[in-house]
């Protein structure tokens, strides 16, 4: 079996279950030594007692298959615990080459019903969690590059969502966090490229504990067929982006699910209007913009089934 990640070490956050687990197993299958991080709280809203069991079980699964892995119990949204997570890779494997940010929670509510804590907690785990690990990994890579006098090997794979692309009415906190992650990714890609580090983000569609209600009834498999929304469809792309073949892939956003990968373009200007004089007036804006939007239904939105291209099975 080809092992393009042999000799490399990786950190995968939120790897005790679902997507993170599948990604950690794939990186190990491709030859990487893996630090399996998970805070281990049973509730998808981040509730319940932290437990090392989920991370330890995945690490044991990797070792049983002949790979190298250690478990790490830690909250990536805590700055010092994120520092300790990166340090655990350095202490165990001597360096860090790959960072996969996947950890997250959900606190779904409509914008008019959402409380401050529900907003803050989701932003904290998703967006701050991505920042914390990326910060400490980038400190390591920059120092290595200065020490060696040239580029090093570094890969960041972040987890965004189509909730950012298409909107999600009941997830203003989650959609905002996932949009922020894309901004963090492109900024990191620009800042770290000169050191040999790439940063990319994926928008995965997968049936996990986090999304069981979102995808309930959609494309459910029959018999022994692999679920088209199984996390195992996402993991190979993460393995590719973590590998040497993706050296020229940087600052990109990719949608992935069920045997499909789509490269998302950066936003483009759809229409442009120039003021007749130096500054637009209200009336002039009404004249140019209102006709442009006139043929669109009032309060036009796109439902999840339309945007995601999902069909109930």
CA-based nearest residue to 78, from 132, 8, 23: 132
Using N-to-C axis directions, what is the helix angle for 18-29 and 53-64, rounded to 10°?
A: 30
Q: Does 282 qualify as catalytic in the annotation? A: no
The question of whether 178 is a catalytic residue gets the answer: yes
- Catalytic residue, chosen from 93, 153, 174, 240, is 174
Q: What angle in degrees, to the nearest 10, is found between the helix axes of 172-192 and 116-123?
A: 30
Active-site hit among 33, 160, 178, 188: 178
- Residue 257 near residue 205, CB atoms below 8 Å: yes
Yes or no: say if 39 and 56 are a contact pair by the CB < 8 Å rule: no
**Angle value at C-alpha 55, between 54 and 56, nearest 5 degrees:** 95
Catalytic residue among 9, 161, 168, 188: 161
Token couple for 137: 């990994």
Please give the Cα distance from 235 to 204 (Å, whole number): 9
In whole angstroms, give the CA distance from residue 130 to residue 103.
8
The per-residue DSSP string of 254-309 comes to EEEETTEEEEEPPP--------SSSS--HHHHHHHHHHHHTTSPTT----HHHHHT
Q: How far is CA 142 from CA 90, 134, 215, in A?
A: 14, 12, 41
174 is catalytic: yes
What are the φ and ψ backbone dihedral angles of 20, each rounded to 5 degrees?
Answer: -60, -40
CB 133 within 8 A of CB 86: yes
Short-list 8, 159, 195, CA closest to 98:
8
In this structure, the number of other CB atoms found within 10 A of the CB of residue 39 comes to 26
The catalytic site residues sit at 161, 174, 178
């Amino acid at each position: 079996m080809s092992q393009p990640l042999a000799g490399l070490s990786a950190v995968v956050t939120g790897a005790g279950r679902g997507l993170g687990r599948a990604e950690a197993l794939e990186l190990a299958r491709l030859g990487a030594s893996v630090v399996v991080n998970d805070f281990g709280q049973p509730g998808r809203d981040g509730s319940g007692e932290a437990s090392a069991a989920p991370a330890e079980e995945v690490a044991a699964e990797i070792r049983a298959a002949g790979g190298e892995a250690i478990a790490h119990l830690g909250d990536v949204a805590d700055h010092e615990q994120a520092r300790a997570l990166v340090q655990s890779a350095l202490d165990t494997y001597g360096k860090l080459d790959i960072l996969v940010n996947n950890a997250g929670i959900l606190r779904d509510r409509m914008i008019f019903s959402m409380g401050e804590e529900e907003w803050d907690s989701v932003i904290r785990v998703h967006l701050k969690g991505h920042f914390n690990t990326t910060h400490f990994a980038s400190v390591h890579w920059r120092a290595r590059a200065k020490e060696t006098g040239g580029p090093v090997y570094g890969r960041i794979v972040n987890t965004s969502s189509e909730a950012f692309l298409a909107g999600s009415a009941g997830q203003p906190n989650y959609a905002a966090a996932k949009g922020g992650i894309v901004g963090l990714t492109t900024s990191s890609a620009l800042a770290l490229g000169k050191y040999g580090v790439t940063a990319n983000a994926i928008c995965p569609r997968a049936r996990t504990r986090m999304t069981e209600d979102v995808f309930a009834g959609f494309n459910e498999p029959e018999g022994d067929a692999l679920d088209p929304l199984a996390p195992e469809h996402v993991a190979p792309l993460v393995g590719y982006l973590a590998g040497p073949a993706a050296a020229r892939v940087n600052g990109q956003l990719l949608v992935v699910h069920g045997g499909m990968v789509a490269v998302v373009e950066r936003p483009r200007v759809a229409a442009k209007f120039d003021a007749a004089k130096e500054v637009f007036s209200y009336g002039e804006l009404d004249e140019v913009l209102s006709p442009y939007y006139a043929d669109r239904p009032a309060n036009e939105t796109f439902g999840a089934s339309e945007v995601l291209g999902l069909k109930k099975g």
